[in-house]
Amino acid sequence: MPGGGVGVGGGPATPAAKVKPDQMIRAKVVVALYPFKAIEGGDLSLEKGAEYEVIDDSQEHWWKVKDKSGSVGYIPSNYVKEKELLGLQKYEWYVGDMSRQRAESILKQEDKEGCFVVRNSSTRGLYTLSLYTKVPHPHVKHYHIKQNSRGEFFLSEKHCCHSIPEVVNYHRHNSGGLASRLKTSPCDRPVPATAGLSHDKWEIDPAELMLLEELGSGQFGVVRRGKWRGSIDVAVKMMKEGTMSEDDFIEEAKVR
């Protein structure tokens, strides 16, 4: 009969299972945490907050990506974060592994009442709020963000929230025991160093380098501030022969 069939032993045939199309491989999408200006041909400039599709992440420090206009090039991998893993890094006030001393320095430079950052605590998995206040004198207070048995976050047990962003939002409107309300965060997060000047550039033409003041000295040599191509800040380490291994030198050869 049309539309029918006979199974083994004369019973009705079991309908054939539908074949599902092969599952599409999802593209890895990253978000730029910092702006980056392409230096060499083959690099791609990054716009902070923009999304990029990763084409090749086989190299540790430089990934090939594609922007929304279809342009392709290499970018420093530590300037981006996978979109699905972004977490707190989408917020201007989160500064990751910044040290207590560095946080104090940046907040004091801003010199704004209620300026703050949230950073990873020295205890793994915990977070610290660093807050600048001018009362009774300019200084930085540090508060541990705690978590109760219900998994709620708080700076004061009277005001518990389901997430750290909710804690920050609450204290933007209420001091709730803090030295000040949370009012603003530093204008720009400190930009990390890149491994090399470009995805395939590890050497500088001395003619493109201008040496400036001395930053420090020691048993290995002298470090001076420099400008590459008149605009890019670099630290130039002038080594004493035989004082450092090649591997150690490469580790330090990072643009600041």
Q: Which residues are annotated as a binding site for ATP?
A: 237
Q: Residue 67 in contact with residue 30, Cβ under 8 Å?
A: no
For residues 253 and 202, give the distance between their C-alpha atoms in angstroms, rounded to a whole number.
8
Q: Residue 43 in contact with residue 65, Cβ under 8 Å?
A: no
Cis amide prior to 136 (ω within 30 degrees): yes
Please compute, for residue 233, the number of CA atoms within 13 A of its CA located in the half-sphere on the CB side.
8
Return the SS3 of 160. Answer: coil
Nearest Cα to Cα of residue 239 among 219, 214, 256: 219
Q: What amino acid is encoded at 90 in this protein? A: K
Binding residue ranges: 237
